[in-house]
Structure 1
């Protein structure tokens, strides 16, 4: 057994060595070789066909990977839109339906590319390695045939002819010829047939690919148009103010109360029940001038003009109530409490038929430009928080006008035009006072 394996291995090594020697001699021009121009052309066509088949298979496989990635990106986009698109927005259910349509389109398209294009191309490509083996084997058998032919020629040209060796060489040559011609004949049939198949195969595969692509593009276009219509309808509803958040009345800034030393250290501390804690024998500073004015009117019956420097209101110190003014006990109503009540009355904006603001009590309505209801002066600084609002500083004069759309009237807000800059917009009423 071992001897048979050793002999077979030695015979194989000898055969390979003989082929290598024959090829070297042929390449050096010291030995001729059998030439078949027709087969050489067949082999050249085969090599080109195999290269093209590998290229198209590679690109279709990459195309399919990209389609699957695009499908995943589309699903991710629709999942995000489903989270962002609030349930009360118009078209919410339609958006979900179009997301399902898009997902089915891409799933079907990827399956068609896989089943109708890539899988057939894979089968087409897999036959080339087997035929390549046959071509290589034919080449080796042709070298064996030429080698046996040369050996026989050498034996026949020898000075001393050995008929036994010549007979054996002639038999070996015939065996090599039969083996070679069998492979050669088989390839003569297969190679042209395979080469002719390249056109219908490529045409069929491309047809299925682009037909599937055309379908997904047309249907995806329909989905895109539906999505565009949904977004357009949402934008129109937004312009109508359907989803606009109702504004709350802007909070009125707080007055600043600063403590001071008591006038009489022996006076008892009294804390009356008012809107904020007030300690007797203290002074208040930095209060807005309209509060001071109302308190002055309450106490003295007169209105004192607020002091100003460069258009700014200077805080005025107001002496605190004395102990004698609080002698009524719990039923005492402080000037600050009455002031708060008057402020609330001033900023309770009356409405004309519930649609437009009417001139406030005490506001001058004579000699105003057309369309101006009355004028107000800013008592606090305000910085706008939206594009349809206006900002102003303390002391700015604003002309109050009617709302462009009465339906948009919001409680506690007015529409006005700043006299200094002619800017028009909304502003909180409780940051101003009528003049």
Structure 2
């Protein structure tokens, strides 16, 4: 019997819950359709929005803090393995072995202590802070359901109140069938029964309304007090959490710095005892250092890996035969191993100057010979050293009418960027010590203040280094042609650049 009674209670409770869900669903549908009004509380809705935002921020902070702790643990493992490696390679007869082992043990303990304090003072506090959100969230949801129950009870009671007058009118005017079938005394009892039934329904609806209103208002008042308080507490929580993390990290690094200093002292002592076996590590040059030996950039993919052989005065040979009785002088080529800080090596010749033969793209009109200024190609003679200034040109007559005129430029021999036998200044339209031009094939971003910023297509005038010892393999000194033509200030415009990013201009 007890079991059957228990089952009956359970079934009745389930039926009651189902009925409540159906009533709430019906009320929500009527509210969405606009056939029933909904109780609104804008202040409470704002508190709910703040609560959801606070929950989102706290959940993210908890996730990031766990990630941070996982990183600390990973660093602990990496540091531990590194110290174990040091203990293995540290030979027993080396001084400071015991001190190094002790430092490794303290290092391990320091990492463990740091991780544990982060868990105790940050993670557990975070868990406690977020632990209050699920209960409040469920209460907010329950308040929403009780609000629907309150609105439903209110609408039901209002509908009964509206129908009261209609029922009274029906009761006052009985149906004709009842009047004919029932005697006069019975009609009064029927009217009294209908009035009593209507009053009973109205009283039940009123009781349900009062009960639903009471439950809703109790929950609403509690949440109206708790939600703003919880929202305002976030500032103090964030401050305490990050202060704890910052303080723990500061102390950890201070203690770790002491251990690292002690380990450094042990290794310095070891180095002094074995000073003859010192391993030299080349440091990277500072921004003010001109050396580029440790930073030879590579050109972008698809470009040649090696710099092609650089040739001085690289001009094409004439097509269609050779000039009778004359041999066109060719400049010696410069090997890639030659430093760019000095001028290219020269083959010994009877003349002091080097000839550069430039063939025009179109047939030039032959001009009158100027023996006082021009070099003779046919006879292999040239003017005496210092007879011509650099940049002067002269046209010689072609030995054959089928060949175009040849323009010959003479450059006096130079040593370390100065003209031998001359005034020491370069051509007026070129910087002093000008050697040759190069064409940038790729963009290059300068990493030091003494480097040139190159864009593909820039033309650079190559000049020698002031101090040849400062030049590193694969680097050239120069000035962009556009900067030189605009400013004529070599000190402000010149800089070094990687040779393999450029190509020699023929």
**1:188 aligned residue:** 224
Q: CA deviation at 1:169?
A: 0.6
**1:80 aligned residue:** 85
**1:197 aligned residue:** 233
Q: Which runs of 5+ in 2 are unaligned?
A: 169-197, 280-506
Q: CA deviation at 1:34?
A: 0.4
Distance 1:242 1:180 in 2: 82
Q: Within the alignment, does 1:69 sit opposite 2:80 as a pair? A: no
1:134 aligned residue (117, 120, 139) = 139
Distance 1:241 1:175 in 2: 92
Q: 1:80 to 1:163 in 2, by over 3 A?
A: same
Distance 2:144 2:249 in 1: 44
**2:261 aligned residue:** 225
Q: CA deviation at 1:242?
A: 10
1:160 aligned residue (134, 154, 167) = 167
Deviation per CA, 1:86-141: give whole Å up to 9, x if none.
11123222211211221121111111101111111111111100111111111110
**1:42 aligned residue:** 47
TM-score, normalization by structure 2: 0.46
Distance 1:205 1:49 in 2: 15
Deviation per CA, 1:9-36: give whole Å up to 9, x if none.
1111010011011112212222110000
Counterparts of 1:239-388 in structure 2, within 5 Å, are: 239-240=275-276
Distance 2:35 2:67 in 1: 50
Question: Aligned to 1:169, what secondary structure does the other structure show?
Answer: helix
Q: CA deviation at 1:196?
A: 1.2
Q: CA deviation at 1:61?
A: 1.7
Task: Name the structure with the higher helix share.
Answer: 1
Question: Aligned to 2:40, what secondary structure does the other structure show?
Answer: coil
Q: Which runs of 5+ in 1 are unaligned?
A: 244-435
**1:177 aligned residue:** 213
Q: 1:242 to 1:67 in 2, by over 3 A?
A: closer
Aligned residue pair count: 243
The 4+ residue runs of structure 1 with deviation greater than 6 A are: none
Distance 1:5 1:237 in 2: 88
Distance 1:171 1:210 in 2: 59
Counterparts of 1:422-433 in structure 2, within 5 Å, are: none
What CA RMSD, in Å, does the superposition of the two structures yield over aligned residues? 1.8
Distance 1:11 1:102 in 2: 65
Distance 2:271 2:8 in 1: 91
Distance 1:63 1:79 in 2: 24
**2:493 aligned residue:** none
**1:150 aligned residue:** 155
Q: 1:178 to 1:242 in 2, by over 3 A?
A: closer
Distance 1:231 1:88 in 2: 14
Q: CA deviation at 1:68?
A: 1.6
Confirm or deny: 8 A CA contact 2:149 2:212 kept in the other structure.
yes
TM-score, normalization by structure 1: 0.53
Distance 2:145 2:69 in 1: 40
Distance 1:109 1:8 in 2: 54
**2:123 aligned residue:** 118
Q: CA deviation at 1:51?
A: 1.2
